[in-house]
Amino acid sequence: MELWYTENQTPAIRFSCKVNKTLHTAKTPYQEIAVLDTEPFGRMLVLDGMVQTCTEDEFVYHEMIVHVPLFTHPRPSDVLVVGGGDGGAIREILKHEPVEKAVLVEIDREVVECAKQYLPEIASGLNDPRVEVIIEDGIVYLQNNPGQFDVILVDSTEPVGPAVGLFTEDFYRLVYAALRPGGILVAQTESPFYNADILVKAYTGMKAVFPRVATYLANIPTYPSGLWSFTLAAKQDAPLPPSRQPAPDFASRYYTPELHSSCFVLPRFVKDMLEKAR
């Protein structure tokens, strides 16, 4: 008998893929976790019935959430990831030579443990001496740690359950306070096709707090609609070109310096929805 994973991406759209084996399931105080070995996308981490990351396409998401802000910042020495318990963002952050410390604040310890056990190629950076893993609500952590970071990444689940508060203007104020002068925030802001309301809310929330805000896009096959948005907010009101270039041996599969500039060029419907929201 064939085994299939099916996700209800909207009330009228489903995504399915063939599963070779269910490797792990658990219910934590925060969410339901599943790790599946899928035929087309490799190992897949699912939280509350939503794909979080897959070994075959995770490089797109993790490179784009990390390298765009870290190559924009001239000297990102202290970087915070809120959420991101799979470790993929941390793995990419550690490729940046100026990084001295990377803090991961994940609310659910079991996501981190599960990633270390079942997704070792994604979680590979979590034991690096430059990395501190803190199990706490990202909101509480930010309230207690102002002015400490050059870059803050919000690598969160969709705005349901514990992640609801990570998409609010109040949260962006906490991020602003936790960033040093010249600091940069990037958050994953969902699909412009299926979750335009979430993208617009995040964009307007950041606009109310930061002088410069810009959305960029990437293609991620296993995320709803395949077209994914990230929104960058900077403390300085200045253009945001890359301020550093990858070294010749910098390992990436999606990110390039050319893509860095072009990913901010938005399709008309996305531009329109963000301009209307101002």
Applying CB under 6 A, which residues contact ligand SAM?
Answer: 30, 47, 52-53, 61, 82-86, 105-108, 111, 137-139, 155-157, 162-163, 166, 188
Give min distance, CB of 159 to ligand SAM, in A. Answer: 9
Return the number of other C-beta atoms located less than 10 Å from residue 144's C-beta. 9
Return the number of other C-beta atoms located less than 10 Å from residue 162's C-beta. 18
Give min distance, CB of 245 to ligand SAM, in A. Answer: 26
> Quick check: is 155 catalytic?
yes
Complete edge-to-edge strand list for the sheet that includes strand 42-47 = 3-10, 13-27, 32-38, 42-47, 50-54
Return the number of other C-beta atoms located less than 10 Å from residue 32's C-beta. 12
Nearest to 262 by CA among 214, 220, 221, 225: 214
Cα pseudo-dihedral 113, 117, 123, 127, rounded to 10? 70
Of the pair 42, 98, the CB lying nearest ligand SAM is at 42
Q: Are 64 and 252 in contact (CB under 8 A)?
A: no
Tokens 């602003």 belong to which residue?
Answer: 176
* Rounded-to-integer distance, Cα 239 and Cα 212, Å: 8
Q: Are 44 and 60 in contact (CB under 8 A)?
A: no
Give min distance, CB of 74 to ligand SAM, in A. Answer: 27
* Rounded-to-integer distance, Cα 145 and Cα 139, Å: 10
Of the pair 107, 184, the CB lying nearest ligand SAM is at 107
Of the pair 106, 150, the CB lying nearest ligand SAM is at 106
Give min distance, CB of 249 to ligand SAM, in A. Answer: 26
Of the pair 16, 268, the CB lying nearest ligand SAM is at 16
Catalytically annotated residue among 37, 155, 249, 272: 155
Give min distance, CB of 123 to ligand SAM, in A. Answer: 11
Of the pair 52, 72, the CB lying nearest ligand SAM is at 52
- Show the tokens assigned to 201: 């809310």
Instruction: Please identify every residue annotated as catalytic.
Output: 155
